[in-house]
Amino acid sequence: MRGLFVTGTDTGVGKTFVAVGLARLLRGDGLRVGVMKPVETGCDRRGDNLVPSDAIQLVTAAGGHHDLALVCPYQFEAPLAPDVAARQEGRTIDPAVILDRFQKIAASHDIVLVEGAGGLLVPIWERYTMADLAGDVGLPLLVVTASRLGAVSHTLLTLAHARSRGLPVAAYVLNQLTDATDDAMSTNAELLARSTDVPCAGVIEWSPADADRGVSAAAAAVKHAVSVDGLIGTG
């Protein structure tokens, strides 16, 4: 199975923007793109229903034919770590359910993109983390980091943990913040390149506000900065 597990160095670093852009571009190449957001917290509530906006964007980017309950089996209102959000609602997250949904998606698609929540060590349930899930689905990691002060350490720590767990890393993507004046932004890309052998798949101009710009904007930004064919090997 070809695909990527899209993780981040933190929450709010632009994982969804990158994953949505990749999904749209891969679909444009004629591939059947499967997407998954196994757990989404911080969902808006509309009446009796929760709205998992990240999962909905992924589904839209992949063509809109996915069953949302399959893509995002666990949805929570509180913007907390999955384990904590589930406990607050008196619910249990079963990793076996997530893996079953993943296998069903993988069976009918050429490529699967799985977007995690937060970083690799975010607890999903008890001591089962996003890193455990990434290992179980067997997809290489794409690490997304926001270029700001602290990005180098956060990225290297993520890559080091992945290495310690035997998790393959395809590359990292540096989201260059367009609405910040952090001096570190001008040096992060070069310092990371000197500090790790993991390749940088691209530097994308991005800001948190871009989350609302839609699928086309994400696809355009990713296409401009990232060699998608080289990243996943779609040729």
Q: Which residues are catalytic?
A: 37
In the 8-state DSSP scheme, what is residue 211? G
132: part of which helix (H) or strand (E)?
helix 130-137
Both tokens of 25, joined, read: 């571009």
Q: Which letter does DSSP use for residue 110 in this model?
A: S
Cα end-to-end span (Å), the chain: 15
Burial pattern 181-218, b for ≥16 Cβ within 10 A else e, equals: eeeebeebeeebeeebebebbbebebbbebbeeebebb
CB atoms within 10 A of CB 123: 17
Q: Name the DSSP letter for residue 150.
A: T
With CA atoms as reference, report the closest residue to 87 among 125, 121, 54, 51: 125
